[in-house]
Each structure stands twice: as C-alpha cells, then as structure tokens.
C-alpha cells in the first residue's frame, strides 16, 4: 500500500506509550532475534520508566531466546489469552519488526479495533498501514532494534545508547546482531556498527551473547541440517540452490520448526550460488519458503520472488507461505527463482 511510510516521530510514540497505563508489545509470529530483542528492550525501558509493559509472542517460540527473556514478564499466546488479564486492560499497543497482517494473524481480531491506540516501528519494505495509526518505518535500518534503540533512549531519558542500562542494551544487541547475520549481511551499515559500538560501550558482552544465541542448539538442529543439505539441488549453472524439508525429515531428526532457522543461508557459501531457498513442509501440509541472495550487480531480488508467491521481505532475505503439497511448492519456488535470476542482468 502506498501509505506504508512514516507518519509520526519516535518522540511522539514515546509520549504515547508513557501516557498509557499498561502497554502490550506485539511482533511477528515465530519471533526471531530482532522481534524478541526489540520487544524485550522496549518492555524493560518502559518498566524503568515505571510503566507496565509486556511482549505478546505468537507462533512457535524458539527456546534459544529463553535466557534473553529472563524474568521479564511476557505472554505466550494461547487462543483464550486475548480475552483475559493482562490483555483485557491495555492503554496502548506497540507493534515491532512487522506491520503485516499476514504476520499478525493470531492477534488480528484483538488488534484491529485498537488501531487508534497502536503504534508501529518497522524496517520492512512492505506492510499494512491500517495495523497502526502511528508509524515509524525506516527501510534503511538494519534491524528494528536500530530504530528501537533511539526509542529506548527517549523512554529512559538518556542521550545516547552508551548510557542505556545493560538489561536494555543486551536485547538491542541481539536484534542488531541476528538481523545482520552477526554483521555479515548487506544491511550492515555505518549506523549499525555505530549502534553496536555504543551497546558494547554500555557493557554488552559480545562473546556471551553470541554463545547464548548461536552456540546453544540441540543435536536435533544439526541432524535436521544434515537432512536439509542432503536435499540440496542446484539449478541454472549452480546459480540457484534449493533445499526442502518434509515433515518426515523433522520426525527422523527429532526436530521441530524452531530447529530450522537460518538454513537458507548455508548454500551461499558456494561461489556460484546467487540465490537460495529452503522450503519447509508445515504440519498442515502447506509449505513455507525462505529466500536468501547475495549482493553485487547480478543480485537476485528475492523480495520480488517472495512477493510473486504471496510473501515478501527484503532484497536479500524474504519468505512466503505456499499451498502444498511440498513437491508443487518446490516447483513454484524453482520457477519463480530461476525467472528472477534470469532478469537479474550480468549474465
Ligand atoms: Mn527485523
């Protein structure tokens, strides 16, 4: 939609939140590091300012973020939670790291009538403006946490992120680090490194955070990765790489969907590969595709590929949900990817 753009300031969002008694923080379903980091950081900033705020998480929860959440009160969504305390008495809502109804499905009926008291902060190129009346959207931000860092400074009342309390600096660092692939992806920018530096100055222990978030997997994750790699196929002179994971793969690896994060990054280590996809069969028999691509002149815009398939995201990282069965989803993905690769010039 055309009015997917900033229409307010972070200062006004801070005033809006501080003026509310209790604040719910929503993010996209199956929250990742940026989703968890940004919501936990704002929850703690508001608590520092004497307000009651808590994140609400929907969809599969990844236990690797348990330590990050710590003792901060959060709501793990259940169908009945929307009618009960603490969600029955909310003065303001902040949606972070998404603005798409498709990623807020579980919250939709609760959230839609609250749009006038809802604010959103996002860094994605597309979204639904009717999710929130107050919007700050910065597509140049490497992570939602990059924008949220400034909001936290306003809420806590400090000049710079170097002065943020450590319990706010840590989750911000997790969001920034994970959304940039630990400062490897194309979204790495001077601003991202400046914030990272500020957060380290605030006391963040990089090695500890890395170990908690990235070196904390179950053996099931490697077993699932083995199966994903075994399924790897190349197309278009090894420019396109596609992997699939069926429900049987999850069963045999004794893994669940939370163990499959980041697999689409793996084929990019091959020199010829310009874009990669991993397609996962869901429990419902539908499919979920994740896309990644490399930069450069012949870069494949996987946001366009995902959009063609009803999804979206960023130029180098995007996703889409497809109807099943897995084999037909795989066919659609290969078709869309190779067509986009052919359009991407420099061939
Ligand atoms: Mn993000």
Domain containing residue 71: CATH number = 3.90.1640.10
Residue 215 reports pLDDT greater than 50:
yes
> What is the pLDDT, as a whole number, of residue 345?
67
Q: Are residues 229 and 162 both part of a single domain?
A: no
- Percent of the chain at pLDDT above 70? 99
DSSP symbols for 92-110: EEEEES---GGG-GGGHHH
Q: Is residue 147 part of a domain?
A: yes
Q: Are residues 269 and 156 both part of a single domain?
A: no
Residue 143 reports pLDDT greater than 90:
yes
Give me the numbers of helices (H) and strands (E) for the chain, helices first please.
12, 12
Q: Do 83 and 89 form a contact (C-beta atoms < 8 A)?
A: no
CA of 34 to the centre of ligand 1 (A): 5
Q: Is residue 4 part of a domain?
A: no
> What is the pLDDT, as a whole number, of residue 2?
60
Cα(44)–Cα(46) distance, integer angstroms: 5
Q: Is residue 123 part of a domain?
A: yes
Lowest mean pLDDT among 73-87, 101-115, 276-290: 73-87
CA of 186 to the centre of ligand 1 (A): 13
- Percent of the chain at pLDDT above 90? 86
- DSSP element (H, E) containing 34: helix 33-48
Residue 321 reports pLDDT greater than 70:
yes
> What is the pLDDT, as a whole number, of residue 63?
83
Residue 200 reports pLDDT greater than 50:
yes
Q: Do 172 and 37 form a contact (C-beta atoms < 8 A)?
A: yes
CA of 313 to the centre of ligand 1 (A): 10
Cα(282)–Cα(142) distance, integer angstroms: 29
Give the chain's end-to-end CA distance (angstroms, integer): 33
CA of 180 to the centre of ligand 1 (A): 9
Q: How many domains does the chain have?
A: 2
CA of 100 to the centre of ligand 1 (A): 13
Last residue of a domain, one of 168, 193, 214: 214
The CATH number covering residue 325 comes to 3.10.310.30
Backbone φ and ψ of 22, nearest 5°? -130, 140
Last residue of a domain, one of 214, 248, 269: 214
Cα(251)–Cα(117) distance, integer angstroms: 43
Provide the domain limits for residue 243: 219-343
> What is the pLDDT, as a whole number, of residue 255?
95
11-55: per-residue pLDDT in tens? 999 999 999 989 999 999 999 999 999 999 999 999 999 999 999
Higher pLDDT, 137 or 345: 137
CA of 290 to the centre of ligand 1 (A): 14
Over range 131-144, report the average pLDDT: 97
CA of 129 to the centre of ligand 1 (A): 17
CA of 97 to the centre of ligand 1 (A): 5
| Length of the chain (residues) | 347
Q: Is residue 268 part of a domain?
A: yes
Q: Do 141 and 123 form a contact (C-beta atoms < 8 A)?
A: yes
Between the CA of residue 173 and those of 192, 276, 308, what are the distances in Å? 10, 27, 33
CA dihedral over 90, 95, 101, 106, signed as positive or negative = negative
Q: Are residues 160 and 26 both part of a single domain?
A: yes
Residue 64 reports pLDDT greater than 90:
no
> What is the pLDDT, as a whole number, of residue 1?
46
Over range 308-321, report the average pLDDT: 93
Stated pTM of the model: 0.84
Q: Do 75 and 81 form a contact (C-beta atoms < 8 A)?
A: yes
Cα(40)–Cα(202) distance, integer angstroms: 17
CA of 339 to the centre of ligand 1 (A): 27
CA of 141 to the centre of ligand 1 (A): 9
Residue 72 reports pLDDT greater than 90:
yes
Q: Is residue 117 part of a domain?
A: yes
Q: What is the largest CA-CA distance in the chain?
A: 59
CA of 256 to the centre of ligand 1 (A): 22
Average pLDDT value over all residues in the chain: 95
246-273: per-residue pLDDT in tens? 999 999 999 998 889 889 999 999 999 9
Cα(311)–Cα(324) distance, integer angstroms: 15
CA of 155 to the centre of ligand 1 (A): 21
CA of 145 to the centre of ligand 1 (A): 7
Whose tokens are 């753009």? That residue is 5
Last residue of a domain, one of 173, 194, 214: 214
Over range 198-210, report the average pLDDT: 97
Q: Are residues 27 and 173 both part of a single domain?
A: yes
151-188: per-residue pLDDT in tens? 999 999 999 999 999 999 999 999 999 999 999 988 99
Higher pLDDT, 344 or 183: 183
Backbone φ and ψ of 324, nearest 5°? -85, -170
Burial of residue 109 (number of CB atoms within 10 Å: 0-12, 13-18, 19+): exposed
Q: Do 35 and 68 form a contact (C-beta atoms < 8 A)?
A: no
Q: Are residues 253 and 185 both part of a single domain?
A: no
Q: Do 42 and 151 form a contact (C-beta atoms < 8 A)?
A: yes
């Amino acid at each position: 939609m055309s009015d997917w753009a900033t229409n307010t300031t972070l200062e006004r969002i801070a005033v809006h939140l501080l003026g509310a008694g209790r604040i719910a923080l929503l993010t996209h379903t199956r929250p990742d590091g940026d989703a968890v980091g940004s919501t936990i950081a704002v929850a703690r900033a508001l608590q520092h300012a004497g307000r009651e705020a808590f994140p609400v998480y929907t969809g599969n929860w990844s236990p690797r973020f348990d330590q990050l959440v710590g003792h901060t009160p959060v709501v793990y969504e259940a169908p009945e939670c929307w009618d009960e305390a603490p969600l029955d008495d909310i003065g303001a809502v902040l949606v972070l790291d998404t603005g798409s109804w498709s990623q807020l499905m579980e919250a939709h009926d609760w959230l839609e009538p609250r749009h006038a008291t809802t604010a959103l902060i996002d860094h994605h190129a597309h979204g639904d403006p009717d999710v929130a009346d107050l919007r700050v959207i910065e597509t140049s931000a490497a992570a939602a946490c990059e924008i949220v860092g400034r909001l936290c400074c306003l809420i806590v009342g400090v000049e710079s992120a170097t002065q943020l309390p450590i319990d706010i600096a840590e989750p911000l660092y997790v969001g920034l680090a994970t959304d940039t692939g630990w400062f490897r992806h194309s979204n790495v920018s001077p601003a991202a490194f400046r914030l990272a530096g500020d957060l380290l100055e605030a006391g963040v222990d990089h090695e500890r955070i890395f170990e908690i978030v990235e070196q904390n997997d179950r053996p099931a994750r490697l077993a699932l990765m083995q199966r994903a790699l075994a399924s790897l196929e190349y197309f278009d002179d090894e420019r396109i790489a596609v992997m699939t994971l069926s429900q049987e793969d999850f069963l045999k690896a004794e893994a669940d969907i939370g163990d499959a994060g980041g697999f689409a990054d793996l084929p990019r280590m091959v020199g010829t590969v310009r874009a990669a996809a991993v397609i996962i069969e869901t429990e419902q028999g539908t499919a979920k595709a994740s896309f990644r691509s490399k930069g450069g002149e012949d870069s494949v815009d996987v946001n366009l590929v995902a959009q063609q398939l009803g999804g979206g995201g960023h130029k180098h990282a995007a996703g889409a949900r497809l109807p099943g069965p897995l084999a037909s989803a795989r066919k659609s993905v290969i078709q869309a990817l190779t067509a986009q690769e052919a359009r991407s010039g420099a061939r």
